């Protein structure tokens, strides 16, 4: 076959380049229109728009929460949210008596949930506190194959307690759906509610002095730096459940619950959390920390504006 003339070769090259350009443009349009899969991570799912399903503030999320200017959503004010229900076997336990608390999480299909995402080293966190915000406990139940959870639990004084199940269930597609559900437990007997301690930035617990710097505000995420001292010297906490500490906030008015995780690194020896207050008025903060393999909990009353 004879070789094309020089003028014809140039025309063929122009046609080829033009066709290639059309292909590139079409590919760009298709990519621009293609749906982008949503990113998911354990504990990052949200069940609908129910506030009970978004009770966490994590590093990286805190700034966005503060930028909205809106109140931080809390969980634990209801036994059901997002199709999930906290179902205890019994709700009455003897005051001061060691017992085993059993429950399951009922899923949208009416069955006990058996698949949970691991969040902060555990598939489920159980927090218990009396309605007067005394007797704080952060526990970690174990689950049987049928979805029944059990944990040793002692309600120290007579009264009504709120138990919070803090978890991320895995739905049928493997997506994590975060929720905090709350139920009341009763320890029969005669008792009186303790008054809420006055606001303070210092607490003494188990020989440690824990203090914090910062002022929680509504609608604005502010840093809170917690420093642990023993004998006047700063103590470096050990990692506990994947972080240097855990901050739980409970609002007295409705026992709304918020669980906050700190930054991954210490700041000058202090544990740094980012917190937007869940509302105006007083609320209670509990900070878990670990030293020499033992977990301690400091508590503070905070006045927010």
β-pairing verdict for 256-260 and 56-57: parallel
pLDDT in tens, 181-222: 999 999 999 888 999 999 999 999 999 999 999 999 998 999
User: How many domains, the chain?
Assistant: 1
For residue 56, name the pLDDT band (cuts at 50, 70, 90). low
How far apart CA 276 and CA 218 sit, in angstroms, is 6
pLDDT in tens, 4-39: 454 444 444 443 434 434 333 333 333 333 322 222
226, pLDDT greater than 70: yes
- Report if residue 184 sits inside a domain: no
For residue 73, name the pLDDT band (cuts at 50, 70, 90). confident
- Report if residue 269 sits inside a domain: yes
- Report if residue 242 sits inside a domain: yes
- Report if residue 256 sits inside a domain: yes
CB 47 within 8 A of CB 82: yes
CATH number for the domain that contains residue 211? 2.60.40.1930
The pLDDT of residue 290 is 97
How far apart CA 301 and CA 304 sit, in angstroms, is 10
156, pLDDT greater than 80: yes
**What is the rounded average pLDDT of the residues 85-92?**
98
The span from the first CA to the last CA of the chain, in angstroms, equals 88
How far apart CA 9 and CA 112 sit, in angstroms, is 73
- Report if residue 272 sits inside a domain: yes
Token pair belonging to 226: 């917690």
Tally Cβ neighbours within 10 Å of residue 259.
24
Higher-confidence position of 191 and 108:
108
- Report if residue 275 sits inside a domain: yes
105, pLDDT greater than 50: yes
Residue 207, domain extent: 202-304
CB 296 within 8 A of CB 288: yes
How far apart CA 299 and CA 160 sit, in angstroms, is 19
- Report if residue 251 sits inside a domain: yes
CB 181 within 8 A of CB 75: yes
pTM: 0.80
């Amino acid at each position: 076959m004879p070789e094309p003339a020089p003028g014809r070769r140039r025309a063929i090259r122009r046609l080829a380049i033009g066709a290639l350009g059309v292909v590139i443009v079409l590919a760009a349009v298709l990519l621009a229109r293609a749906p982008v899969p949503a990113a998911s991570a354990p504990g990052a799912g949200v069940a609908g728009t129910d506030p009970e399903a978004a009770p966490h503030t994590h590093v990286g999320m805190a700034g966005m929460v503060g930028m909205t200017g809106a109140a931080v959503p809390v969980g634990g004010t209801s036994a059901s949210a997002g199709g999930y229900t906290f179902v205890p076997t019994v709700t009455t336990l003897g005051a001061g008596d060691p017992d085993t608390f059993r429950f399951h999480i009922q899923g949208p299909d009416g069955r006990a949930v058996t698949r949970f995402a691991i969040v902060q080293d555990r598939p489920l966190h159980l927090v218990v506190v009396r309605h007067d915000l005394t007797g704080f406990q952060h526990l970690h139940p174990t689950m049987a194959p049928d979805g029944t959870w059990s944990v040793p639990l002692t309600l120290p004084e007579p009264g009504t307690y709120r138990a919070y199940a803090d978890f991320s269930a895995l739905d049928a597609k493997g997506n994590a759906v975060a929720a905090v559900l709350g139920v009341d437990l009763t320890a029969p007997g005669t008792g009186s509610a303790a008054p809420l301690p006055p606001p303070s930035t210092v607490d003494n617990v188990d020989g440690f002095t824990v203090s914090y710097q910062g002022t929680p505000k509504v609608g604005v995420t502010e840093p809170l730096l917690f420093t642990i001292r023993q004998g006047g010297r700063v103590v470096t906490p050990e990692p506990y459940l994947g972080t240097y500490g855990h901050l739980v906030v409970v609002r007295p008015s409705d026992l709304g619950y918020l669980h906050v995780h700190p930054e991954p690194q210490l700041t000058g020896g202090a544990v740094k959390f980012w917190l937007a207050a869940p509302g105006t008025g007083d609320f209670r903060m509990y900070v878990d920390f670990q030293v020499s393999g033992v977990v301690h909990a400091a508590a503070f009353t905070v006045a927010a504006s």
